[in-house]
C-alpha cells in the first residue's frame, strides 16, 4: 500500500499531503517558532535524565503538533504540547492541573516570560540558560523582541509536512536490523531525523590492558571503559581470542576475524 494513501486528505492547502511552504513566506514565523521550541526544549533538557545520543531531549510528532512528552519534576510529571491545529501551548500535570498559552504573533521574550510564569503557577520551578543554540542569532530569549511573527497557516503546513516525513522514516527504518534511533524533532536545529548505526563492532583506536574481567569483585574492565572510552576487552587466557564490545554490547569469538571482515567491507556509515 502506498504510504501516502493512508492519511486523511483534509488539509488547509487544498488537501495536499505535501502543502506548499515557501521559505521566504514563512521565514519570520519559522525563526520565531524555532526560538519558542528551544525554550520548551531547554526545560526538558534541564529536567529529563540523560539518554545515550541525547535522545531524551527531542520532541515527537502527535496528531495535533509536537510534544515534549512526559518530563519528571520531583515525584511529579508534566507534559508540554504544541497544538499546531488550534495554535496553543498546553502544559499538563499528572494531578490534572494545566495551563495554556495562545500561539499568536508575540515576541520571543513575551513567550519566554509567559511560559516560565505558567510553569511557576503550576509549582514547577526550573531555570534554563537563555542563550539560543545552533543558530547565528545570539539574542537571549528574555530580551528577544526582534522575532515576533506567527502565521498559523504556514505553521500548520509545516507540521503536516513533518507528519509525512515521519511516516516515511518510520516505514523505511523497519527493515534495518541494527541500532536505530526514534524519529525525533530536534529543537536545536529545528528538523526531524532518524539515525541508523552500523552493526560492525566498534574497535578501539588504542590498546590498553585491564587485567581483570567483570567476574572480578571490582569490575575493573567496566571501570576501564568508563575511564578511557576504550570499547574492546579481550580474553587473557592462552589460546582464547573472544572479546566484548561495550559500545555494541556484544561478544565476538575472534578479533582478528572481525578485523578481516571489516577490511573486506566498505567503511560503515551512520
Q: Please give the full DSSP string across 147-193, using - where no structure is assigned.
A: -----HHHHHHHHHHHHHHHHHHHHHHTT--S-BPPPEEETTTTEEE
If asked whether residues 188 and 242 sit together in one domain, one would say no
Map residue 29 onto helix, strand or coil: helix
| Confidence (pLDDT) at 211 | 47
Residue 260 shares a structural domain with residue 167: no
| CATH at 219 | 3.30.40.10
Looking at the fold, whether 235 and 203 belong to one and the same domain comes out as: yes
Residues 34 and 64 in one domain: yes
Of 193, 214, 243, the residue that ends a domain is: 193
Helices (H) and strands (E) in the chain, counts: 5, 10
Does one domain contain both 147 and 121? yes
Indicate whether 207 and 176 sit together in one domain.
no
Domain total for the chain? 2
183 and 205: one domain? no
Low-confidence ranges of the chain (pLDDT < 50): 1-11, 200-211, 262, 264-270
How much is the pLDDT for 267?
Answer: 42
Among 160, 193, 226, residue at a domain's last position: 193
CB burial of 5-33 (b: ≥16 within 10 Å; e: otherwise) equals: eeeeeeeeeeeebebeeeeeebebbbbbb
- What is the span of the domain harbouring residue 219? 198-270
Domain boundary among 164, 193, 222: 193
What is the C-alpha separation between 141 and 16, in angstroms, rounded?
Answer: 35
CA dihedral 64→65→71→76, nearest 10 degrees, is: -30
- Pair (138, 259) in one structural domain: no
My answer on whether 150 and 244 are in the same domain is: no
Shortest CA distance to 181 belongs to which of 56, 40, 68? 56
pTM exceeding 0.75:
no
262 & 215 share domain? yes
pLDDT tens-digit series, residues 151-207? 999 999 999 999 999 999 998 888 776 778 899 999 999 999 998 776 544 444 344
Amino acid at each position: 500500500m502506498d504510504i501516502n494513501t493512508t492519511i486523511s486528505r483534509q488539509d488547509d492547502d487544498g488537501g495536499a499531503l505535501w502543502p506548499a511552504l515557501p521559505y521566504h513566506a514563512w521565514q519570520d514565523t519559522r525563526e520565531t517558532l524555532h526560538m519558542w521550541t528551544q525554550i520548551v526544549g531547554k526545560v526538558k533538557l534541564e529536567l529529563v535524565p540523560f539518554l545515550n545520543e541525547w535522545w531524551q531531549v527531542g520532541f515527537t510528532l502527535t496528531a495535533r503538533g509536537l510534544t515534549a512528552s512526559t518530563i519528571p519534576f520531583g515525584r511529579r510529571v508534566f507534559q508540554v504540547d504544541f497544538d499546531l491545529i488550534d495554535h496553543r501551548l498546553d502544559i499538563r500535570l499528572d494531578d490534572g492541573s494545566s495551563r495554556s498559552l495562545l500561539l499568536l504573533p508575540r515576541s520571543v521574550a513575551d513567550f519566554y516570560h509567559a511560559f516560565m510564569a505558567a510553569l511557576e503557577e503550576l509549582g514547577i520551578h526550573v531555570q534554563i540558560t537563555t542563550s539560543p543554540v545552533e543558530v547565528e542569532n545570539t539574542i537571549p530569549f528574555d530580551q528577544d523582541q526582534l522575532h515576533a511573527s506567527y502565521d498559523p497557516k504556514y505553521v500548520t503546513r509545516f507540521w503536516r509536512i513533518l507528519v509525512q516525513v515521519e511516516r516515511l522514516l518510520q516505514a523505511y527504518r523497519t527493515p534495518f536490523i541494527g541500532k536505530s534511533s526514534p524519529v525525533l524533532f530536534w529543537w536545536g536545529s529545528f528538523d526531524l531525523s532518524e539515525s541508523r548505526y552500523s552493526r560492525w563492532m566498534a574497535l578501539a583506536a588504542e590498546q590498553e590492558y585491564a587485567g581483570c574481567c567483570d567476574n572480578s569483585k571490582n569490575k575493573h574492565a567496566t571501570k576501564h571503559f568508563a575511564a578511557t572510552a576504550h570499547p574492546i576487552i579481550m580474553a587473557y587466557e592462552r589460546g582464547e581470542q573472544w572479546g566484548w564490545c561495550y559500545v555494541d554490547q556484544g561478544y565476538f569469538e575472534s578479533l582478528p576475524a572481525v578485523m578481516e571482515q571489516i577490511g573486506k567491507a566498505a567503511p560503515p556509515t551512520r
